[in-house]
Amino acid sequence: RFDMTKSEELAQEVADLRKRKADAEAVVDAKGMSLDQIFSKVKAGGVKELSVVIKGDVAGSLEAIKGMFDKLATDEVKIKMIHSAVGGISESDVLLASTAQGLVLGFNVRPDGSAQKMAKEKGVEIKCYTIIYELIDDMKKALSGLLDPELIEKSLGRAEVRDTFSVPKIGMIAGCSVVDGKIHRNSQLRLVRDGRIIFEGKVSSLKRFKDDVKEVATGFECGIGIENYNDVKVGDVIEAYEMESIAREL
């Protein structure tokens, strides 16, 4: 009975392996992703989880790694372990990672020749480690790369409207004096009147006398055109700013 049980277990493992390989091969054109490609995809509004196949030398190592992965997860990003097992990295592992557009991680194990060849063909990245904290640190950095950046408003300058005039084919131009910082052409702006925000938009044109300029500094006068807005009044304040993208970390 003992031998039969072992045989049945082995047969089941072989069947599972064949099924995983067949499932992976069903997507014959699937391509894996390197960490850089994952970052590019998330910037375009793609994945929020990092799919990995992980192989290790002993079950204890895999359990420890899984526990650390769980601690790294947040409401925004997480690591999805699509398969984990004891043993070297095989062709089947690479196929699974390719299907899931993920990575293959190895801890104290290496890929065999066929796995390396398959990884090259499918564009799957295989990363091997001998120190568990180096593996975790890399995955932490990878997850940080999946986080949406924080947008911070950066003030550029302020200008006071001293006069207004209409220009054919352009529209209303605000004759301004820059009182702080610099006003940049194409920068974001808000129009403030008596302390209230009247309009938020963009600097569509910036002139010094009749010349188009890229920026005007404190102490100088200029003409500012506001994109799709003409109701500018003397005494209004134009605040120019830009949104700066700041990378976040776990």
Q: In the predicted model, is pLDDT for residue 145 greater than 90?
A: no
Query: What's residue 29's pLDDT?
Result: 45
pLDDT at residue number 131: 96
3-state class percentages of the chain: helix first, strand second, coil last, to nearest 5: 30, 40, 30
Q: Are 223 and 173 in contact (CB under 8 A)?
A: yes
DSSP assignment of 193-213: ETTEEEEEEEEEEEEETTEE-
Does the global pTM surpass 0.85? no
**H-run or E-run covering 135:** helix 132-146
pLDDT tens profile 32-88 = 566 666 556 555 555 588 899 999 999 999 999 999 999 998 888 889 999 999 999
Summarize pLDDT for 102-133 with one digit per residue, the tens.
Answer: 999 999 999 999 999 999 999 999 999 999 99
Quick one: CATH architecture of 150-246? Answer: Beta Barrel (2.40)
AA letter at 38: I
User: Can you tell me the distance from the alpha carbon of 139 to that of 134, in angstroms, rounded to the nearest whole number?
Assistant: 9
Six token digits for residue 161: 């409207």
Express each pLDDT in 167-203 by its tens digit: 887 789 999 999 999 999 999 999 999 999 999 999 9
96 by Cβ neighbours in 10 Å (0-12 / 13-18 / 19+) ranks as: buried
Residues forming CATH 2.40.30.10 domain(s) in the chain:
150-246
pLDDT for 61 equals 95
Query: How many percent of the chain have pLDDT more than 70?
Result: 81
| Among 66, 63, 125, CA closest to 93 | 125
Where, residue-wise, is CATH 3.40.50.10050 in the chain? 2-146
CATH 3.40.50.10050 fits domain 2-146: yes
